[in-house]
Structure 1
Amino acid sequence: MSETRLRHTLTSPLSHPSSRGAVPQEYLRRSVDGMIIETHVAVPLRTGYHAFADVYRPENESEAVPVIISWTPYGKHNPAPLWKIYPQSGANREWYSDYTCFEAPDPIYWTQRGYAVVIADVAGTWHGEGVATFSSGLEEAESFYDTIEWIAARPWSNGNVGLSGVSYLAVSQWHVAALNPPSLKCIVPVEGWSDFYREVLRHGGIPDTSFFPYIAERWGAAVSSVEDLMEESLDHPLWDELWESKRAKLEKIQVPALVIASFSDQGLHTRGTLEGYKKIASREKWLIVHRRRKWEFYYRPDIVEKQRQFYDKFLKGRADNEVESWPPVRLEISDRWYEGQWRDEMEWPLRRQIHTPWYLDGRSSAISDATATEASCVEYHSLSGGPTATRAVFDREFSSDTEITGHISATLFMETSEGDDMDVFVAIYKLDSQDRLVGQAFYAQYSDGPVSLGWLRASRRKIDPAQSSPGQPVAAHTHEEKLSPRKVYQLDIELWASSMCYRSGEKLRFVVQGTDIAVCLDETNKPDKGAQDLHSP
């Protein structure tokens, strides 16, 4: 599919900026805390409208400085004390100043080191002009492009621009970097999806009724029309040109990139960030993958220092730092909560990864090296959820230390007792030698997470061979193939990439159930209401 200008479904603002503490702003310049701060700077766009940005730059104007830009739907006016809003996030309040906006770089830190920081609102949001579109379709990316070039041309700028930020502030980097603005010299995307449909809207084809409705509403603060993502998700249930427009064109990205991903953001950013690193065409690119809380990791002083070295090289032209000696990939091989080892690698995915088949035995609830000698069937109810859920559970106990790193997939043979579809949720956990759950960092603030997650709506089982690779079956989502009750179907399920070390005596637990495992989704629209049967071999 080629990039086209789509006719978006629009709606009135989902909330007024005043309801979020935002008031109409006018341009203001002031000097405070060693910075020149310019608020509500109007940036002309090709659309005839303006984007609006807050600019922080060193008070000493004796020389032009490089610029770090963040493009945000969360409000440039809105400093976000993560330590206070999300006290379990691990983001220490001493690591960033009160000027720091949500998931954006700290202006105090960077201006003290000879950089300007620009926080720009997504065009059309808050008190902006024009229509807001989201998740970086072509229109939004072009507005970001125009902002980069206009900022680079300011007399206080040295013409070199880098990008920074977490989540949406990383997603927007993928999209604008694919347009290759001349002044854009490097990017630092931290935890950002690259395929909105597969990684946010519909995991495995199953509608996300938890995070997506929340975030769509949160992005919608404006005074004029905004893209109606909720309505579009209903009007476009299958993969089409709308969702293609929101898929980052990673193969077009050429600028140097420091990509920070995690194995802990299962269900949101893990897949997209790793796919981003894998597919970008940048000759100079580095990847760090951790299993920690994402905001904590982004603001951690040693990680901020690594970002500074990267920007110094590509925005200031410094050759006397450590970047050239960095390994291309640095992985955290976890053992348990915040314990494990860091290892340098030459690539991702690992070329030496061995895709090892294991087999489920319904009679013994074991995971074995060979198929079971007798056929078996495990049945559970598709609507059973919560702590007393019935599910199919299989364990594998390790007799020696074993590392699992890379892509994971499951091939299941399943049937439903009624209806013409079924939702299947799978997860991998770690148990210690006493059969106690070894919880993992999960999302931004939780400590009881899985090792890996996977999902599939059975009618979406058709695989796209062009996007798939060994260990990573990617569903096409272009059409549905409904089920017949009491007929067994093969389901190839992508579990998101992970890394975990299992010690001798510890167990890998594989769970299959009909309701969501890690996030509480609204199950009222489930296509299946009866039993689900899992067959082996």
Structure 2
Amino acid sequence: MAIDTARRVQSLYVPVGDGVRLAVDVWLPVERLAADGAVATVVRATRYHRAEAPSGPEPEADSNSAEGDLWTSAGFALVLVDARGTGASFGTRTIELGPREVADYGDVIDWVAAQPWSTGRVGVYGTSYEGQAAELVVGLGNPHVVAAAALFSPLDAYRQLFYPGGSATSGRFARWMCESRIKDGVAGARERLAEITGLPPESLPHQPPVKPVDGPEGPALLEAAVKEHQANVDVDGLMEQVPFRDDRLPGLDWEDTAPVAAREAIESSGVPMLVRAGWIDGGFAAGALARFATFANHQEVEIGPWGHGGRTYADTLNPDGSLGADAFGTEGQDRRLVDFFARYLQRGERPAGTGTLTFSTLGTGRRQTVTSWPPKGLAARRWYPNVAGELAAEPVDGAGPVATVPYRVDPTASSGPINRWLAGEIGRGAAYPDRRAAEESLMTFTSAPVPADLHVVGFPVATLRLATSGGDGAVYVYLADIGPDGEVAYLTEGCLRFQHRATTGPAEPAGTGVPRSFARADSLPVVPGQDLDLAVELQPVAALVRAGHRIRLALAGHDASCFARYGPPDETFTLSLGAVPHLDLPVLGPEPGSE
């Protein structure tokens, strides 16, 4: 099917290297094409339907009408792709974001570049899964790819989404996989989701049908494609078999699907990247900072008070705020996204330097820009927990016997139903209402009121010496801001499954946290009652702790919101105090800067 350059949007099949036909939508800036003859193109590939079945033939009825307007009004062509085995595309899925799928997108880009309406200059972008796909496409080294945007997506899905600290968020993974298979049209997926959620199948919301390709044969081709989807791999059944970062199965391979593993190829491409993350959205901010600190290619990184996808708001120190219409708002985000691609695809600019990191500070509405990570002036300040439940500036005198504090693990402890690990599924920014009640069953240590504002920026690290009564388990560590009225405001958290406690280098709270492999060969046994030395990396954050507020460190043995349980039912911890246990808090100067 030839593309009609007088039509604003059209849908067709594009065959890829192994002959599988992918459903593709092409949005064209028809006026710009009439004047210039050829335009640059941005490509977004998805496994969540490139478009829903429209109510009518006009472009305004398309579910991507606003996205089409955004790009075509700026003079770009927009190409949307259903991944193989999904939507209206043919084929089956043997793995999520595997090499064949990524190669498909390279084939589509080659097809785009060969079109008479294309300048041959292509950008790739996307949010979440789609952003991870865009970054992996950069690693192909396709000469037509000029720029990329990875938005709210993991650099390493094992660490930053599915196994943070080595603890499985298995419940949310199972729901995601079932909902994805329902979108793929796989028989039985709806019943499986009902089984997981405990809800009757008829009460589950129905997914809108996918858009078929154009033409009278479109519906029949869609039906034939969905028949091929029935053989899609059920990744949920494999999740429990890959608890280590280097575990590899035919249907689930952390290495093959992680952009961090493609670092050399991504760097050598020379492709500039726009990266965006929210401070309280999974572990994606950690990936954004690690990428900025270690990848050599030019990056323009933004970290803000955003929920997953950037369309919702998440600032636990200012919970009643909103994105508004400023730089944090959706219009500002979209404007910078379009301008990023315009600079490289349309104006042919070349990136200068390694890039910039612009980040907001929770509780202030301010943002600042630095050119390196860690930024100048960032240093760790240390606090020590003591037997009185305090976080003190000095450790307890080590001359006497080591004090210990027992703690009976509460298996019902939870960070709530709207937490950072679930925000992507519930469609809103993470929220942690006053946690006074939630922390009643936790082991807590609280500082004196801080005499001056503390601008916390980076990866807090809790170093613990802890024994457990079980042969396995995990510790969950929370950092909170305690207001003068006693309100407990969540700042960040970290967790560590005990068998993953081995590190590959020193902790860097003012750098990129705690290096560890999570590899099977580095696993360490857990002996009941034996002290474990733990360096627990908390998710990075930028937040202003106001003068007169206090800092709290809270410990738990489980988070029932979405994590797998590893300890025994009657688990107890024994925390040793003294000079070893401490909290390192990265602090950047007395006040955050502003634009």
The reply to whether TM is greater than 0.5 is yes
Moved more, 497-506 or 339-348: 339-348
Indicate the residue corresponding to 1:259 in structure 2.
Answer: 275
Query: Which residue, 55, 59, 62 being the options, matches 2:26?
Result: 55
* Match for residue 394 of structure 1 among 445, 453, 470: 445
- 1:386-535 equivalence runs, <5 A: 386=414, 387=437, 390-396=441-447, 397-417=449-469, 419-438=470-489, 450-465=490-505, 472-479=513-520, 480-516=523-559, 519-521=561-563, 523=565, 526=567, 529-535=570-576
Q: How does 1:117-266 map to 2 (within 5 A)?
A: 117-220=78-181, 221-222=184-185, 223=226, 224=229, 225-240=231-246, 241=248, 242-248=253-259, 249-253=262-266, 254-265=270-281
Q: Which runs of 5 or more residues in structure 1 are unaligned?
A: 1-26, 81-96, 439-449
CA contact (8 A) 2:484 2:549 kept: yes
TM-score (norm 2): 0.72
Matched residue type, 1:235: Q
2:455 is aligned with what amino acid? E
CA distance in 1, matches of 2:483, 2:263: 39
What is the CA distance between 1:121 and its match in structure 2?
1.2
Residue from 274, 278, 285 that aligns with 2:293: 278
Q: Check the 8 A contact 2:148/2:273 in 1, yes or no.
A: yes
Identical aligned residues as a percent: 21
Matched residue of 2:22: which SS?
strand
Equivalent-residue separation in structure 2 for 1:35 and 1:347 (angstroms): 45
Measured against aligned partners, the alpha-carbon deviations of 1:331-381 in whole angstroms (never above 9, x if no partner) come to: 1122x2xx33211211123243212332111x2222122212362314132
Distance 1:150 1:327, change over 3 A: closer
Tell me if 1:67 matches 2:41: yes
* CA-CA distance at 1:528 after TM superposition: 5.8
Structure 1 partner of 2:322:
none
Distance 1:478 1:527, change over 3 A: farther
**Post-superposition offset of 1:458:** 0.5
Tell whether the 8 Å contact from 2:494 to 2:537 is kept in structure 1 after alignment: yes
Which residue is equivalent to 1:356? Answer: 381
Preserved CA contact (<8 Å) 1:380 1:513: no
**C-alpha distance in 1 between matches for 2:179 and 2:2:** 27
| Alignment of 1:317 onto 2:333 | no
Deviation at 1:403, TM superposition (A): 0.8
Aligned-partner Cα distance in 2 for 1:247–1:190: 15
Query: CA 1:455–1:78 in 2, change beyond 3 Å: closer, same or farther?
Result: farther
Whether contact under 8 Å (2:278, 2:310) holds in the other structure is: no
Check 1:211–1:492 CA distance in 2 against 1; reply closer, same or farther (3 A cut): same
Q: 1:425 to 1:37 in 2, by over 3 A?
A: same
CA distance in 1, matches of 2:538, 2:7: 46
C-alpha displacement at 1:190, in angstroms? 1.0
Match of 1:377 among 381, 395, 405: 405
Larger Rg: 2
Maintained 8 Å contact 2:412/2:559: no
Q: Tell me which amino acid in the other structure corresponds to 1:262.
A: G
Question: In structure 1, how many angstroms separate the alpha carbons of the residues matched to 2:524 and 2:179?
Answer: 34
1:238 counterpart letter in structure 2: F
* 1:288 partner letter: E
Contact (CA 8 Å) 1:99, 1:107: kept in 2 or not?
Answer: no
**Counterpart for residue 85 of structure 1:** none
Q: 2:284 aligns with which of 253, 263, 269?
A: 269
Per-residue CA deviations over 1:444-489 (Å, capped at 9, x if unaligned) read xxxxxx3212111111212234998856113322233221211111
For 2:14 and 2:538, locate their aligned partners in 1 and report how far apart those are by CA, in whole Å. 42
Q: Following TM superposition, by how much is the alpha carbon of 1:208 offset from its aligned partner in structure 2, in angstroms? A: 1.1
- 1:498 CA displacement: 0.9
Structure with more strand by fraction: 1
Deviation, 1:185, is 0.5
CA RMSD of aligned residues (A): 3.0
Structure 2 gaps of 5+ residues are 55-59, 186-225, 313-327, 415-436, 579-595
Q: Partner amino acid for 1:243? A: W
CA distance in 1, matches of 2:48, 2:568: 34
Alignment partner of 1:76 is 2:50? yes
Query: Structure 1 residue 75: deviation in Å?
Result: 0.4
2:15 & 2:295 partners in 1: Cα distance? 29
Change in 2 beyond 3 A, CA 1:29/1:318: closer
Alignment partners' CA distance in 1, 2:2 and 2:116 = 18
TM-score (norm 1): 0.80
Deviations 1:231-265 (A, max 9, x none): 32223222224221122113422201111122121
> Separation in 2 of the partners of 1:377 and 1:98?
63
Matched pairs, number: 468
1:68–1:161: 8 Å Cα contact kept in structure 2?
yes
Alpha-carbon shift at residue 268 of structure 1 (Å): 4.2
